[in-house]
Amino acid sequence: MNVLEVKNIEKAYKKNFPVLKDLNISIEGGKIVGLLGPNGCGKSTLIKLISGILQADKGEILVCGEKVGEKTAAMISYLPERPYFNPHQKVSELLKFFAEFYADFRTDVAEKLLCDLGISVNSKISSLSKGNKEKVQLILVMARNAKLYLLDEPIAGVDPAARDYILSTIVGNYNPEASIIITTHLISDVEQVLDDFMFITYGGKIVLSSNAEEVRNERGKSLDAIFREEFKC
């Protein structure tokens, strides 16, 4: 069974102006997949549809064979594009909240990752830099033992020195039977961890979808270079 099935999905915010139209995606377990495309092409909309934050106008989404709803909410660990924490909370309070709210949350894993990145559990969110807030949010998401991880621009505000560690953390600390979808415009930074990728353009059309290593070998170029060719102005 695939972890994710997206079948003939359509979504429009304005009548006759679909953000996504007739979109079909299948993702196996144990895959890290890059959902790559220009701003405004529907990447974040798709992530929100899968997570259940938005509802599709047409089509069906299945997570581990279940329609999006209460059951799938427990299987999905979602990282939104922007931090949403209460700035007056301490990191330790967030750990406690996640542990109480999510049965699959691994506090020991979160504490180790925070320590490795030099972030104190006694820090208030308001005292953290933008990059450290994003690190905390990503750690909380990846410390869950989920079936599907949805990461919307997970390293956009993180300093380059920390990106390699964070990406290796993604690979090393998630359920190997689960899958990860990463949306990002920093393709050169994330392509090292991708198993598969999808180039998505306006209207939710997939213009190229394949195994990352196979395409790099076939074309003799990085995914970043191929992306620039596909979407050049």
Domain regions of the chain by residue span: 4-230
For the stretch 61-107, pLDDT in tens is 999 999 999 999 999 999 998 778 889 999 999 999 999 999 999 99
β-strand partners of 61: 6
pLDDT reported for residue 231: 84
Handedness of CA 31, 148, 106, 113 (dihedral sign): positive
User: Do the bridges between strand 148-152 and strand 17-27 make them parallel or antiparallel, or are there none, so unpaired?
Assistant: unpaired
Question: In the 8-state DSSP scheme, what is residue 127?
Answer: G
**Lowest mean pLDDT across 1-5, 69-73, 160-164, 200-204:** 160-164
Q: Give the CATH fold of the 4-230 domain.
A: Rossmann fold (3.40.50)
pLDDT reported for residue 28: 94
pLDDT reported for residue 233: 65
Average pLDDT over residues 30-44: 91
pLDDT reported for residue 63: 97
pLDDT reported for residue 2: 93
Closest CA to 146 of 110, 94, 103, 112: 103
Instruction: Give the span between the Cα atoms of 81 and 151, in whole angstroms.
Output: 8
Count of positions (residues) in the chain: 233
Q: Decide which of 233 and 180 is more confident.
A: 180
pLDDT reported for residue 149: 95
Average pLDDT over residues 129-156: 89
Instruction: Give the span between the Cα atoms of 232 and 223, in whole angstroms.
Output: 14
**Res 166 pLDDT > 80:** no
pLDDT band at residue 17 using 50, 70 and 90 as cut-offs: confident
Average pLDDT over residues 174-189: 86
Average pLDDT over residues 166-180: 78
**Res 167 pLDDT > 90:** no
The phi, psi pair for 104, rounded to 5°, reads: -95, 10
Please state whether 124 falls in left (phi above 0), alpha (psi between -120 and 50) or beta: beta
- Within 15-137, strands assigned E span 17-27, 32-36, 58-63, 66-67, 76-79
**Lowest mean pLDDT across 45-49, 121-125, 176-180:** 176-180
pTM here is 0.92
Instruction: Give the span between the Cα atoms of 3 and 75, in whole angstroms.
Output: 10
Contact 69, 215 (CB under 8 A): no
Closest CA to 35 of 134, 153, 203: 153
